[in-house]
Amino acid sequence: MTTASEPVIAGERSMRQRSRWLPKARLVYGVSGVVGVLALWEVANRTNLINPTLISRPSDIAYAAYQQFSTGTIWGNLETTLSVWLVGFLLASLIGIVIGLVSGVFRYVRYVTDPLLNATNVAPDLAFVPILILWFGIGFKFRLMLVLFIGIFYVAINTLTGVKNTEGKWLRVAKSFGASRMRTFRTVIIPGSLPYIMTGLRQGASRCLIGAVASEFIAGNKGLGFMISLAGSFLQTSTVMFGIVLLALLGVILSEIIGRLEHRFDSWRI
């Protein structure tokens, strides 16, 4: 065996050096892409290639953001949207995981829930809005229910898929060693379906955000969705676009948080 102190001839590059540069390259190219598009957009706007009333300039959006934050009006809206999102998403996760697990484990429950879940899932969620209003009015309860309703199927269906896809060889191991049903559930089915559950949570989180904004379009007097729709009707395009940017940012942050959680749960996945 040769030792690590192998002489390096000029021009020879080890694989490690190259891979250390790659993440930086991703960042540099990614940022320049965004900056480039923003610059083009600004220029196109200033040269009247694009009508500024229809699409505001990046600088206007930045100004709208500055105003919103400096006057503090944004915080109330943010709080309204995030709180209904958080409560709705937590409920959707909890109920969705339970429905998914129970349907996955008990075949006869699955025969009942499978068609229901699929039918409700393929039907456009927003078509249910009139019924939800009829049942829950147009207050917080309605908004919460819409968020819950939109998110729950993603969590439930992904969890169910996870349980169904638990590999037979692992179940056979549990059976061979005489594991009880409860132990099999705890040591094989739950960890085996965890990757699917996390995917469901991630999809559910972003669906719930859509639900939160949509519910404020329909009913509400506060929140980011309300802010966007109000600004839109007053032709304040820059505020609308600021709202969009903020929501995009929120989406990224939320999915990043869940991604980190996911990583904590499956450190064994190499």
Partner 1 sequence: MQTLTISDVTMIYERPRTHERFRAIDRVSMTIEKSSFVSIVGPSGCGKSTLLAVVDGLIQPSSGSVQMDGRPVTAPGPDRAMVFQEASLLPWFTTVQNCAYGLECQGISRKEAQQRAMPLLEMVGLKGFEHCYPGELSIGMQQRANVARALAVDPDVLLMDEPFASLDAQTRELMQSELLRIWDQTQKTVLFITHQLDEAIYLSDRVLVMSGRPGHIIDDVVIPIERPRSLDIKRTQEFAAIEQRLWDDLRSEIESELAPATAADVRS
Q: In the complex, which residues of this chain contact partner 1 (CB under 8 A)?
A: 169-170, 172-180, 183, 187-188, 191, 194, 266-270
Residue partners of 209: CB distance under 8 A and separation at least 6: 85, 247, 250, 251, 254
Phi-psi region at 220: left, alpha or beta (left = phi > 0; alpha = psi -120 to 50): left
Shortest Å distance, C-beta 68 to partner 1 = 45
Q: Which is nearer to partner 1, 26 or 175 (CB)?
A: 175
Residue 151 in contact with residue 213, Cβ under 8 Å?
no
**Letter for the amino acid at 241?**
M
Query: How many Å apart are CA 217 and CA 214, to the nearest integer?
Result: 5
Q: Which is nearer to partner 1, 18 or 269 (CB)?
A: 269
Find the distance separating the first CA and the last CA of the chain, reported in whole Å.
Answer: 28
Closest-CA residue to 237 (of 74, 51, 75, 67): 51
Q: Which is nearer to partner 1, 86 or 174 (CB)?
A: 174
Shortest Å distance, C-beta 140 to partner 1 = 40
Q: Which is nearer to partner 1, 183 or 260 (CB)?
A: 183
Q: Which is nearer to partner 1, 47 or 180 (CB)?
A: 180
Shortest Å distance, C-beta 112 to partner 1 = 24
Q: In this structure, what token pair is assigned to residue 229?
A: 């729709």
Q: Which is nearer to partner 1, 78 or 179 (CB)?
A: 179
Residue 212 in contact with residue 225, Cβ under 8 Å?
yes
Shortest Å distance, C-beta 188 to partner 1 = 7
Query: How many Å apart are CA 168 and CA 184, to the nearest integer?
Result: 12
Residue 167 in contact with residue 193, Cβ under 8 Å?
no
Q: In this structure, what token pair is assigned to residue 190?
A: 């739950």
Please state, as a whole number, how many other Cβ atoms lie within 10 Å of the Cβ of residue 157.
23
Shortest Å distance, C-beta 110 to partner 1 = 19
Angle at 110 between CA 108 and CA 115, to 5 degrees: 120
Shortest Å distance, C-beta 105 to partner 1 = 18
Query: How many Å apart are CA 37 and CA 29, to the nearest integer?
Result: 12
Shortest Å distance, C-beta 266 to partner 1 = 7
Q: Which is nearer to partner 1, 52 or 195 (CB)?
A: 195
